[in-house]
Amino acid sequence: RQNGGAALMDQIHQQRFNSKHLGWIDGGVRFHIYMLNEPRFGADGVLDLSGIRLRDNPIYHAFFEALNATTASMPSTEVYAALEKGVVDATAWTSIGIQDLKWDKFVKYRIDPAFYSTDIGIIVNLDSWNDLSAEAQEIIQNTVIEWEQKSYDTRQQDVIRERQELIDKGIKIVAMEGEAAAKYEKMSADAAWARLHQRLEKMGGMENYDTLRALYYPE
């Protein structure tokens, strides 16, 4: 928000979707790969998913392909049965929540570092927003901004708590470090930005690509 990223996101939403983008809540919750079996790593120390059947979705498909995984797209409601029956060997999910889904009954390893982040945005129809008084707009916007920070802080506590709970249940945290971790994270980011680039080329909006990347992923 301080570097102008939130303002640009709002501008894009107003221009393309006739909506007011008020903020991004519950931020800072990132994704991990959870595995049934002990992970393997390449000579460069990066996770190698060759021969691994990994539950997939379009958000991280390109990244998983780069890790040599065999992917299977399915809704989250089917993952429990897929893990139970061995249809998939691994799945990605956020740092919190796999206990609620009961996937911790099956997975034995969590891969670090994390990648990507949840993106829960609050948006309002722009016409409806413009019908509000300036005072009402200010109250709503300030409330969302306040909740951005409060929810971020709360979710970080949840991340720490759940990590320890998983360890206590015997799930091993397997972490890449140094150059391997940096390469892994860059692979995930490059895959996501390449996907956005392709979509903007097809649907319009390329004029914002470089600025978005500079603001949301400064290198």
**How confident is the model over 149-204, as pLDDT tens digits?**
999 999 999 999 999 999 999 999 999 999 999 999 999 999 999 999 999 999 99
CATH number, residue 96: 3.40.190.170
When pLDDT is averaged across residues 72-96 and rounded to a whole number, the result is 95
Q: Is 218 part of any domain?
A: no
Indicate the range of 61-70, 113-122, 158-167, 180-189 predicted with least confidence: 61-70
Cβ-based neighbours of 162, under 8 Å, separated by 6 or more? 95, 96, 97, 99
pLDDT band at 124 (very low <50, low <70, confident <90, very high): very high
pLDDT band at 139 (very low <50, low <70, confident <90, very high): very high
pLDDT over 90 (residue 1) = no
* Predicted pLDDT at 75: 92
pLDDT over 90 (residue 219) = no
Q: Is 209 part of any domain?
A: no
Exposure letters 49-86 (e unless 16+ CB within 10 A, then b): beebbbbbeeebbbbbebbebebeebeeeebeebbeee
Q: Is 211 part of any domain?
A: no
Q: Is 215 part of any domain?
A: no
Cβ-based neighbours of 93, under 8 Å, separated by 6 or more? 31, 32, 34, 76, 101, 103
CA–CA distance, 82 with 87 (Å, rounded to integer): 5
Q: Is 206 part of any domain?
A: no
Alpha-carbon separation of residue 192 from 12, 120, 134, 209 (angstroms): 19, 17, 37, 12
Q: Is 54 part of any domain?
A: yes
pLDDT over 90 (residue 218) = no
What is the overall mean pLDDT for the chain? 95
Q: Is 23 part of any domain?
A: yes
* Predicted pLDDT at 59: 84
Domain total in the chain = 1
pTM of the full structure: 0.92
pLDDT over 90 (residue 106) = yes
Which structural domain range is residue 187 located in? 5-200
Q: Is 207 part of any domain?
A: no
